[in-house]
Chain A
């Protein structure tokens, strides 16, 4: 059975519509004096929370050492296949001790036109080398510019102190196998 919606009969004043219009005008008039909520974007910035998932970036620890060991887990997990890593040998002739690791990325590309900001790369990374940063302004004149290469990824990621340091343990004399 069809449902019958009872329509209330309008009384004389409601039939005139004028009181309703006056009320509406009053409402918009009051609205005029409310503070605007517009964010003047380039000058004012929105508050970005710490757990915001912006552009992924590679990080170095406070000693300036590359964290990535090019295990390629992020490349493997990445749902849209945005990450391409070309693995290479760990550098030997640096001030840092790389004796504990064998690999470092030769090339590291993240195609930001493909990235879906899921954060899986950060989650899966065993070395805490890749992080979702708070960087959200990605714009470029060409598509090529939005395929971030290694220097750009380190620029976005910067250095991040307080990460686990697997390499340190060897210096403690505890041996690499302990952890």
Chain B
């Protein structure tokens, strides 16, 4: 058999295992981080009983969820009810495939790019799958066959469809600059040039706001608004199915944090390094790059949490107003301005 093929399969499997496990472990520990940060903001201590500083809390929680009774209410649409938790997790994990997470490594004389699938349509793939995430929530709302989940599902579909447009428009400027949809090209352009957050501040702002709405995080957590809708779309879910929604939310958060890192914060770039320095350091450079990438993503995850405990929830009409009347024109204006600046 062709050795290149075998090498390619093994390398890809290794990348998949490393990246998905990093993300899932992060998704598992994000609730802990969230509880800790919220506690600090509110002058509390946060989880500190299970293990050192409560570090074993996520594991205890996971076991608790697994061993809880998995209630399937009698009034639900069984097929969609079981399907939607999976649909909530899978799209986020798919998006990971196109996110480059480090400079290339040399293994057995071959160069391996640290991206699972280096697609030419990179960002389109991201938007295609982030749109699918809405199905998990909408189906959950519909299949639960009761009022609060349905309201959550409806809100979520309206919200995600509105903000996806802004999300798409906000990054057009970047690809006009990079002249490519490949995320690897976008990162390389930033490593040798300036980070896109400086060249595209309006795009960054629109993207971040839309990303908050896409991941249903406060101040845009209307689909699960506890104070209004009990728990929104996952009201009727319990046990591991509920955990899947949870994991899906945190995986989506990580994915968008990674996207912000790749699109606006220069990927694995450090201010005093360029692609040459990474290449000179060889595989250690790749490891450093991966670390920097994770660090930046983690900082953005912290920003998510920080914002959650600062801003109150939007009203639904305010949400729609912001999406359609503010962010959409801003995104369009951003494209126009970028186009004018990039005139040959």
A27 to B309, CA, bound (A): 11
B303-343 CB mask vs A (1 if < 8 Å, else 0) is 00011011100000000000000000000000000000000
Mark contacts of A30-52 with chain B using CB atoms, 8 A cut-off: 1 yes-contact digit, 0 otherwise: 01111111101000000000000
B40 interface residue (CB < 8 Å to A): yes
- A32, B311: Cβ atoms closer than 8 Å: no
Bound CA–CA A155/B45 (angstroms): 35
The answer to whether the Cβ of A25 comes within 8 Å of any Cβ in the partner chain is yes
Q: Measured between C-beta atoms, what is the minimum distance from A38 to chain B in Å?
A: 4
Out of A18, A25, A32, A40, name the residue touching B45 (CB < 8 Å): A40
Interface residue range, chain B: 10 to 19
Please tell me the number of chain A residues within 8 Å of chain B, measured between CB atoms. Answer: 16
Interface string of B267-311 (1 = CB under 8 A from A): 000000000000000000000000000000000000000110111
- Decide yes or no: A29 and B311 within 8 Å by CB, A35-B43, A36-B39, A36-B43 being known contacts: no
In the bound complex, residues from chain A placing their C-beta under 8 Å from that of B309 are: 28
For B21, list chain A residues within 8 Å (CB).
Answer: none
**Is A31's CB under 8 angstroms from B307's CB?**
no
Distance of A134 Cα from B311 Cα, bound (Å): 42
Residues in B neighbouring A18, C-beta threshold 8 A: 205
Known: A28-B306, A29-B306, A32-B37. A37 touches B43 (CB 8 A): yes
Interface residues of B (CB under 8 A from A): 37, 39-45, 205, 306-307, 309-311
Offer 9 A-B interface pairs, CB within 8 angstroms, sorted by A: A21-B310, A27-B310, A28-B306, A31-B40, A32-B37, A32-B41, A34-B43, A35-B43, A36-B40
For the complex with contacts A28-B310, A32-B37, 16 further pairs of A-B residues with Cβ separation under 8 Å are: A18-B205, A24-B310, A24-B311, A25-B310, A27-B310, A28-B41, A28-B306, A31-B43, A32-B41, A35-B43, A36-B40, A36-B43, A36-B44, A38-B43, A38-B44, A38-B45
